[in-house]
Amino acid sequence: MAHQIQIPISFEFRAAKVQWEEARANVIGWWNQQGETNDPVQLIAGIASTSGKKKTIGLPLSRLPEKEKKQCLATLGKRHSDEAVKEICSGLELRYFVHDRETYINSELRKHSHDADPWRLRHDFLSLKGDSEAALEFLNKWGRWVRFRNYVDTAEISALQGAVRQALTSPAEIWFRSSYASPPKANSRSSQFPYFVVLTDACEAAICMTTTMDLLRKLRFKTCARPDCHKVFPVTSRHERNYCMQYCAHLESVRRTRKSTTQRSGG
């Protein structure tokens, strides 16, 4: 017989000072041929930042445009496939963000970070418009993206943004079926109740945790009705509200008035 239990866990998000910069990645071959993994859909790419720092990363084939993805798959098992995929991807602009900040845990994490509001983090995250300049500003404000990895691309950021937007405005089951909603792992301890602590300075983990918590608490959210906003906001009362803030409601009211005036004047 399955037993449902409730274990209290403290959740603490801390922002670390991380200096991110843009970098370009160039495909140099198949990752599995480097002896690091057996996954045939991973490429290996070299990253060079604007400051001259270099490293190699695993690049999921799904990050490529459909045309180049099919061409790369066609080289699998053939001679000189590394050279082939390098040539196929030579014209692609694969942009990443990188940093060289060390990863800390437990007491060292607290020492090298400051207390921050994870819901404010999520609000800023969902407000991103998708351009690299805004993403870089966001990362430099909030710090580390994930633990033990010092790079991320806009595709990964956009994927999480879309998943969180959908989760907050759809049935909770959609989120809890996804890999983003893995059960929280207590990675620190406290001598006081509730003893178990989820401590992180990683933005991705904190964004997922706030989303999981809100859905477990059965909070309701709506999407702003202003067409060029679409921010997600919490429903905090029974009063009908269609806009995330008064500014959006006022702007849409002005637009409707102008449109009505134009139509009456025959313009």
Mean pLDDT of 154-169: 94
User: What confidence score (pLDDT) does residue 92 get?
Assistant: 92
Q: Is the pLDDT of residue 51 over 80?
A: no
For residue range 199-251, list pLDDT tens digits in order: 999 999 999 999 999 999 999 988 888 888 878 888 887 778 888 888 888 88
Q: Is the pLDDT of residue 181 over 50?
A: yes
CB atoms under 10 Å from CB of 79, counted, come to 8
- Under the banding of pLDDT at 50, 70 and 90, the label for residue 35 is very low
Q: In the chain, what percentage of residues exceed pLDDT 70?
A: 93
Q: Decide: 203 and 101 in contact? Cβ < 8 Å.
A: no
Q: Is the pLDDT of residue 126 over 60?
A: yes
Q: Is the pLDDT of residue 262 over 80?
A: no
Pairing of strands 54-60, 21-30: unpaired
Q: Decide: 186 and 194 in contact? Cβ < 8 Å.
A: no
What distance in Å separates the CA atoms of residue 207 and residue 118, rounded to the nearest whole number? 7
Q: Name which residue leads in pLDDT, 39 or 70.
A: 70
Q: Decide: 28 and 94 in contact? Cβ < 8 Å.
A: no
Q: Is the pLDDT of residue 115 over 90?
A: yes
| Phi, psi (rounded to 5 degrees) for 69 | -60, -45
**What strand order describes the sheet that includes 188-189?**
113-115, 10-16, 196-200, 188-189
User: What confidence score (pLDDT) does residue 36 get?
Assistant: 44
Q: Where are the beta strands (DSSP E) in the chain?
A: 10-16, 21-30, 42-49, 54-60, 94-98, 113-115, 151-153, 188-189, 196-200, 221-223, 232-234
Q: Which of 178, 194, 174, 177 is nearest to 186 (CA)?
A: 194
For residue range 63-90, list pLDDT tens digits in order: 899 999 999 999 988 999 999 999 999 9
